[in-house]
C-alpha cells in the first residue's frame, strides 16, 4: 500500500468524476456528535490541549541546531511545569500530545502529567509528517509510539493528534487498527463528528481543531526563515475569547491547541489564564480532556 492515491494522466480539470470523488471520500466528516448539554448540565465544553513537541520540532526533518533544541528544552524546563501549575491552580484537566522521542527524553514529565490528572495522546514518533510515509512505516511508528507512551506512563493512549495535523490517506485506517477512541487533527466542523473512511463510519470521534485556535499560528518564529510572530498577545486573547463566547452561545465545544514552548513565556502565559478565568466565570462550563469530550459526545449525541 502506498501513501497516496495515484492521479491519472492529465490536468485536474480533466479527471474523471470517479477520481476526484474518490479523493474527497478518503476521509470525511460523518454524523455530527453534538450533545444537547454537557455533563452536569454544562452549556459548553472546554478542551485545552498542549502539544509537547520539545526538541522534535528540530529533529523531525534532520535538523541539528543546538539553539533550536534549547528552545525545545525550554518546553520541558519552563513550559510544561508552568502549564501544569496553572492547570492545578484552576483545578482543570487538559490533554497533552507527546511524540515518543519526547516521552523517552523526559519520562518524568509524562508521569507528572498523568499523575496530575491529565491525558496524554499519541503525537508521532519524532514528530514526523505522516503524509510522506508509506503505510507500513506510518503504522509501525504509530504502534510503537502508543506502546512507548504506555510503557512510560502506565496508561494506554486512546487518542491521536497527528504531528502538524498532517494526515495521510492511511492515518485513519491505522487509527482503527489501534482501536482508538478519537482523533484530534482535522477541522471539518466545530462540533465533534464521526469519521468516515471511504464513506463508511469508523466509529472514531473527531475532536476538531482549527488553525485559528492554535498559538503557533500567531507566535512561531524562525531566525533563518521569514517566519515571525505577527499578532500581539492581546489580539490573540481577543480571538480566543471570541471563539469561546460563540461556542458558549451555541452550547458547543471550545477546543484550543497550544505548545508549552510557545504559550508559556511571561508575556503570553496570561492569555491562557484569562481564557480559563473568562470561561470559569460563566459558571456552567465543563473543562475536560479530549478523551472525555470524545467519549461523552459519542454516547450523548443529540
Maximum C-alpha span of the chain: 59
Closer residue to Zn ion, CB minimum distance, 54 or 139: 54
DSSP string covering 91-144, please? Answer: T---EEEE-HHHHHH-HHHHHHHHHTT-EEEE--SSS--GGGS-HHHHHHHHHH
Residue 97 C-beta: closest distance to Zn ion, Å: 6
Site track 155-194 with Zn ion (rule: CB under 5 A), x = hit:
--------x-------------------------------
Shortest CB 60 distance to Zn ion, Å: 9
Instruction: Name the minimum Å distance from CB 125 to Zn ion.
Output: 12
CB 217 within 8 Å of CB 210: no
Tell me, by CB under 5 A, how many residues bind Zn ion.
3
**If we measure between CA atoms, which residue out of 79, 39, 103 comes closest to residue 259?**
79
For Zn ion, which is the closer residue by CB, 51 or 128?
51
Least Å from the CB of residue 266 to Zn ion: 23
Q: How far is the CB of 100 from Zn ion (least distance, A)?
A: 12
Nearer to Zn ion, 53 or 206 (CB): 53
- Minimum CB separation of residue 302 from Zn ion in Å reads 32
- Binding residue for Zn ion, selected from 26, 34, 42, 51, defined by CB under 5 A: 51
Per CB under 5 A, does 119 bind Zn ion?
no
Binder of Zn ion out of 26, 30, 53, 146 (CB under 5 A): 53
Q: Which residue is nearest to Zn ion (CB)?
A: 51
The alpha carbon of 103 is separated from its chain's Cα centroid by a whole number of angstroms, namely: 16
Which residue in 166, 149, 173 sits closest to 27, CA to CA?
Answer: 173
Nearer to Zn ion, 127 or 268 (CB): 127
Could you tell me which of 6, 8, 24 has the C-alpha nearest to residue 16? Answer: 8
Between 51 and 215, CB nearer to Zn ion: 51
Least separation in angstroms between CB 57 and Zn ion = 7
For Zn ion, the closer of residues 139 and 259 by Cβ is: 259
Hunting for cell 512561531 — which residue is that?
A: 220
Torsion of CA 119, 123, 124, 128, to 10 degrees: -160
What DSSP string describes 232-282?
Answer: -HHHHHHHHHHHHHHHHHHT-EEEEEE-HHHH-STTTHHHHHHHHHHHHHT
Q: Which is nearer to Zn ion, 163 or 260 (CB)?
A: 163
Residue closer to Zn ion, measured from CB, 26 or 162: 162
The span from the CA of 270 to the CA of 39, in Å, is 28
What is the rounded distance in angstroms from the CA atom of residue 50 to the CA atom of residue 31?
A: 27
C-alpha 201/C-alpha 297 separation (Å) is 15
User: Whole-angstrom Cα distance, residue 75 to residue 67?
Assistant: 13
Distance in angstroms (rounded) separating the CA atoms of residues 50 and 112: 14
- Min dist CB 196 to Zn ion, Å, is 25
Find cell 506510518 and name the residue: 138
Applying CB under 5 A, which residues contact Zn ion? Answer: 51, 53, 163
Amino acid at each position: 500500500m502506498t501513501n497516496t492515491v495515484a492521479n491519472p494522466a492529465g490536468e485536474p480539470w480533466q479527471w474523471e468524476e470517479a477520481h476526484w470523488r474518490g479523493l474527497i471520500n478518503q476521509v470525511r466528516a460523518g454524523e455530527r456528535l453534538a450533545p444537547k448539554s454537557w455533563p452536569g448540565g454544562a452549556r459548553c465544553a472546554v478542551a485545552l490541549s498542549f502539544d509537547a513537541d520539545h526538541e522534535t520540532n528540530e529533529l523531525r526533518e534532520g535538523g541539528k541546531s543546538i539553539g533550536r533544541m534549547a528552545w525545545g528544552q525550554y518546553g520541558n524546563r519552563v513550559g510544561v511545569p508552568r502549564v501544569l501549575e496553572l492547570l492545578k491552580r484552576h483545578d482543570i484537566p487538559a490533554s497533552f500530545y507527546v511524540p515518543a522521542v519526547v516521552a523517552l527524553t523526559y519520562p518524568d514529565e509524562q508521569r507528572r502529567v498523568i499523575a496530575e490528572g491529565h491525558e496524554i495522546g499519541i503525537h508521532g514518533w519524532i514528530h514526523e509528517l505522516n503524509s510522506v510515509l508509506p503505510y507500513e512505516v506510518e503504522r509501525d511508528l504509530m504502534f510503537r509510539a502508543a506502546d512507548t507512551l504506555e510503557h512510560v506512563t502506565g496508561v494506554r493512549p486512546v487518542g491521536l493528534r497527528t504531528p502538524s495535523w498532517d494526515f495521510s490517506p492511511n492515518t485513519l485506517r491505522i487509527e482503527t487498527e489501534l482501536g482508538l477512541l478519537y482523533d484530534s487533527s482535522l477541522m471539518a466542523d466545530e462540533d465533534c463528528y464521526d469519521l468516515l473512511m471511504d464513506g463508511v463510519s469508523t466509529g472514531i470521534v473527531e475532536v476538531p481543531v482549527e488553525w485559528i485556535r492554535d498559538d503557533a499560528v500567531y507566535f512561531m518564529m524562525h531566525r533563518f526563515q521569514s517566519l515571525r510572530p505577527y499578532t500581539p498577545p492581546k489580539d490573540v486573547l481577543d480571538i480566543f475569547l471570541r471563539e469561546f463566547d460563540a461556542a458558549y452561545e451555541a452550547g458547543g465545544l471550545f477546543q484550543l491547541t497550544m505548545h508549552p514552548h510557545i504559550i508559556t513565556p511571561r508575556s503570553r502565559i496570561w492569555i491562557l489564564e484569562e481564557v480559563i478565568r473568562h470561561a470559569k466565570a460563566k459558571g456552567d462550563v465543563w473543562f475536560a480532556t479530549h478523551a472525555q469530550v470524545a467519549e461523552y459526545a459519542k454516547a450523548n449525541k443529540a
